[in-house]
Amino acid sequence: MLIKEVDHLYLVKWKNLSYFDSTWEPQSLIACANKINDFKNFNRALDKDSRSIMMQQNNCHKTLLELESNPRKKAKYGNSAINELKNKLFFYDIAHKKNPY
């Protein structure tokens, strides 16, 4: 019986392209092993709270990208709500070491 090793997929953000142009690539085709090792070390180093904050920020980014790509949704959402989302992404309470989520 032959056992095949699973080829992991990574979401690659290409240099000089937008996040909309990111693609899923198999590990075997990625020529930069250093980046994969950096990614693995970064994810392993996160504690539960840090990972939670990162996921919340990721969701805010996705919402902003969706609003930018859909003018009707953007108008419906409102400028004040969009500015609040941006503030959540760029504000970090250093004194309490918390993100305002």
pLDDT tens figures, 16-75 = 988 888 899 888 888 888 888 888 777 776 677 777 777 777 788 888 888 888 888 888
- Are residues 9 and 55 both part of a single domain? no
As for how many domains the chain has, the answer is 2
Of 4 and 80, the one with more pLDDT: 80
- Are residues 57 and 99 both part of a single domain? yes
Provide the residue range defining the domain that includes 23: 1-45
Q: Residue 93 is encoded by which pair of tokens?
A: 């309470």
- Are residues 57 and 94 both part of a single domain? yes
- Are residues 54 and 33 both part of a single domain? no
**Per-residue CA distances from 87 to 2, 9, 69, 78 (Å):** 53, 32, 20, 14
How many CB atoms neighbour CB 22 within 10 A? Answer: 13
